[in-house]
Structure 1
């Protein structure tokens, strides 16, 4: 590591270097860095510092949101500055979706980052102390909990990639001094002054009023975010214990859930609904899950839709289902009918899974192999005489006893010949029906996947 930074402030240099060296220990030695450069003062100073501290280990990326006519010129400015520092630069144009502009622009920006990050590369961003304080303030006003108030982490290790914010403890005023002393050039985005946007409003309208009353507010809010990060880490440890006790990522045992305090129930449901996504559901959505689904009658089959998933109760369990899985049964026609011919060793693809026709101790007559067999969807009201049991009983009751989930029942298909039921294909396997076609040493379809 080398440095050509002017001796602006020996104390700052010592502290900054010490902080950088400590933070970088979180990453593997072979790590390289992709710096997000908007062209603003913060990111251009970061580019300059990183180019001096980590030569030949950095690249830069400018994301052009195409929201302003001059945005392409800003990309060229960043490219020129990178060329002067001998830093490779990527300029990526993105399409910002309709909706909340700030939120959608951020989504587009991070998608561009993710697209270009290499396997051993760390995303480096220029967020500073005031950014942190503003983030906490805005999340507080939106009703965020511990997770939201923890704001941004200096070293944020995510599943997809890691983010490093080396300037997070540094004030904007100090950044301005360093940039001026080092002669760092930058652009000014006029939207940063447009108080139509929440962050600009917070910075230019709310901030001066609060800071006039509380001069140390920025440092206090930043400190609060670190305290909230500690609280969140402790909370996550408890949540993981509760999740291990109550179920898994796709289902929860409601009896065990009820043993937790109301606060722990809400927190567990919130993080469980979040899954691998970035954001948790709102407090109101968690309350709806508690009241409308968990609090419903056990046979009500209530469901709650949130963020592309359906949350469904079945008996004493709560399930998290993809929209495709839950809606498949709703759109499936139960009037389809077809004929199939089977042979030993044949792989059979059914709605309930893949089967293999194999010999068995007791099964269907070999005379049925090669014949046209009828395959129909369950209509309701059918009765089945399961082989080895006494008498016929409703197929519905057999399905309930086998605990086949309601949203999977559309997959059930009945195999027959000349109106004689031979068996039923279910998500739990093939059920052999008692008939004159049963024999010792016959064959059966066995569920293989």
Structure 2
């Protein structure tokens, strides 16, 4: 049902595999699938599951017990961690994700592969959510299939499959899983997109989620080419937290903006929005900046560090808060 060639194009069968296991349908399908491969001798490293208990639901303890029993029945090594989610610093969902990934980073060892069960419906939901809030080119790339996480890597092998594909696998293999009733509460934006918007869209365009996911792939490829060309032409003017102002003065506004955004992104801080970019251009490019010139910005969910720009000796200086 799931293509083994594409799976092993991404997943190294000789390295350890850790499944991010919530107990829900998606992660249950992925853990069962990898367990079957391990039983068949196609995975040569260890297979284990990690469950994060966010303690946000009245049934959190029952979910953790379910996950433990699921793994015990299959002789899969199981780890569980309880985290405290501080929703005051950012949105509840963002705070839970940050807490979850901090644990993942600590647990993953050298060459370990953390597999997550995200699928094309998740991608479509994320892209629509970002579009409705407002996003740039970066936000249209969708989740990465592979990225470094701690000492290892995080992999999403099922981005090209739909929720229906995973549900069918669960049904065929009679796999028990947890149903979270909070996923159907319409007051949450992502739930509304998942349960209302995507259902309506899919009734008219059945392959909508898959097509959105393919578009994110194309955007990612174009973004890589875009960044390569910027680095080749302007990389010599970028020195860590410093960007030489003189290289920006003769550029058209849209090109100047892209160079500044690329430089900020390379330093892994919050990305300024369109309004802030306008303030940066006005203060540092269209005016004569001084050591007292400053523009600052932040990200509402605190996923990345806040920052501010200053000027010194002909350079724009990026300062991290």
Question: Does the pair score TM above 0.5?
Answer: yes
Q: Specify the alignment match of 2:239 in structure 1.
A: 248
Shift of 1:222: 1.3
- For this pair of structures, how many residues does the alignment match? 307
Shift of 1:50: 0.8
RMSD between superposed Cα atoms in Å: 2.1
Could you say which structure has the larger radius of gyration? 1
Shift of 1:249: 1.8
Q: Specify the alignment match of 2:155 in structure 1.
A: 164
SS at match of 1:74: helix
1:20 pairs with 2:18: no
Q: Specify the alignment match of 2:121 in structure 1.
A: 130
2:26 to 37, 42, 47: 42
CA distance in 2 between partners of 1:280 and 1:109 (Å): 23
For structure 1, the residue ranges without an aligned partner over 5 or more in a row are: 1-11, 324-449
Q: Specify the alignment match of 1:196 in structure 2.
A: 187
Q: Specify the alignment match of 2:36 in structure 1.
A: 52
Q: 1:159 to 1:149 in 2, by over 3 A?
A: farther
Indicate conservation of the 8 Å contact 1:129/1:168, yes or no: yes
Q: 1:242 to 1:111 in 2, by over 3 A?
A: farther
Higher strand share: 1
Q: 1:170 to 1:119 in 2, by over 3 A?
A: same
Q: Deviations over 1:238-283 (max 9, x none)?
A: 2322441322121111111224332232122123223443753322
Pairwise mapping of residues 47-446 of structure 1 onto structure 2 (< 5 A)? Answer: 47-54=31-38, 57-97=46-86, 98=88, 99-157=90-148, 161-277=152-268, 280-299=271-290, 301-306=292-297, 307-323=305-321
Q: Specify the alignment match of 1:33 in structure 2.
A: 17
State which drifts further: 46-55 or 220-229: 46-55
Q: 1:221 to 1:58 in 2, by over 3 A?
A: same
Shift of 1:208: 2.2
For structure 2, the residue ranges without an aligned partner over 5 or more in a row are: 298-304
Q: 1:179 to 1:204 in 2, by over 3 A?
A: same
Higher helix share: 2
Indicate conservation of the 8 Å contact 1:251/1:319, yes or no: yes
SS at match of 2:52: strand
Shift of 1:301: 1.7
